[in-house]
Amino acid sequence: MQNLLRPNDFDNFIGQKKLKDTLEVMIQSSIQRKKQIDHLLFYGPAGLGKTSLANIVGNMLNKKIKYAQGPLLEKKADILSLFASITKGDIIFIDEIHGINKNVEELLYSAMEDGLIDIVLGPEGDQRIMRMKLPNFTLIGATTLFSKISQPLKDRFGFIGKFTRYSNHEIISILKNSSKILKTNIDIKALKKISSYSRSTPRVANNLLKRCIDFLTVKKMKTINLEIVNDAFFKMGLYKYGLTDQHIIYLKFLSESFKNNWVSINSISGIINEEKTNIELEIEPLLISNELIKKGTRGRQITEKGISYIDEWNKENKVN
């Protein structure tokens, strides 16, 4: 179902206008000059459409795409296997490209820049180099951790595109398109509620829509309305802005124990029993974007808005 909701062309890809405009120009230039399009690097939070846009580039150029996951490219043999099967004009898409083993990353440099890979053969002291000549290709990299990519690798991309969060209007448009594809009726109040819980992310919005369709189906109703959405979100443990129980536990800890003080990430991790990496990547971004907490050199501090949020949550959930 997820592939069904993926847009296949720029006209149906909502949002990221400047990024789309640039890519359309690059594609048209590539076609008119009969030259391979430059290597592309997309970065931004998960679920914003990096893979979808890579697919559209392939569709517009009528080129095959070979997919790979960065963290699975651990050995030189993995890199060689990836490039050995490509033909002239192919596109290689590496998702989470920051996860490539740094010991083999250098093989990409000459591949991207010169279309060559040098392979060292034989035991130490009696080594020789075999050069693999590659056909023209385009590498599209995608990452959620741009800072983790080395500068030499960044420098070999002809265009680096940043994906930004979507507006409520854009998310509602995406949901309308998705509901049509899924042949489901939904009213405007329900659309707005799903959008406000979507974390400004199309993937999250579409997943929430599908869960509401589940509730619609079981209730044997014809249209997703606000009542169905509220029931679905309550049973899924979703709260205002799309917060989950993890976010609530985090905010309650800061509100009840450190209301006017800063607290270190290590203290938060130990007390709420969450890994530091999970807190920084999965919990805090949504809290920061909604101005519920502040992040600084002294640690984290809940804001007045965050305190009000927890007070309201406690009342709604009848917590003393």
Would you please indicate which residues are annotated as catalytic (active-site) residues?
A: 50-51, 95, 144, 203
Angle formed at CA 320 by CA 233 and CA 239, multiple of 5 degrees? 15
Q: What is the rounded CA–CA span in Å between residue 155 and residue 150?
A: 9
As a whole number of angstroms, the longest Cα–Cα distance in the chain is 75
Paired tokens of 67: 């997919």
Length of the chain: 320
Cβ(305)–Cβ(288) under 8 Å?
Answer: no
Amino acid of residue 47: G
Instruction: Report which secondary-structure segment, H or E, holds 43.
Output: strand 40-43
DSSP 3-state assignment of 319?
coil
CA pair distance 96, 141, nearest whole angstrom? 7
Q: Which residues contact 19 (CB under 8 A, 6 or more apart)?
A: 53, 161, 162, 163
- Tell me how far apart the alpha carbons of residues 238 and 230 are, in angstroms, rounded to a whole number: 9
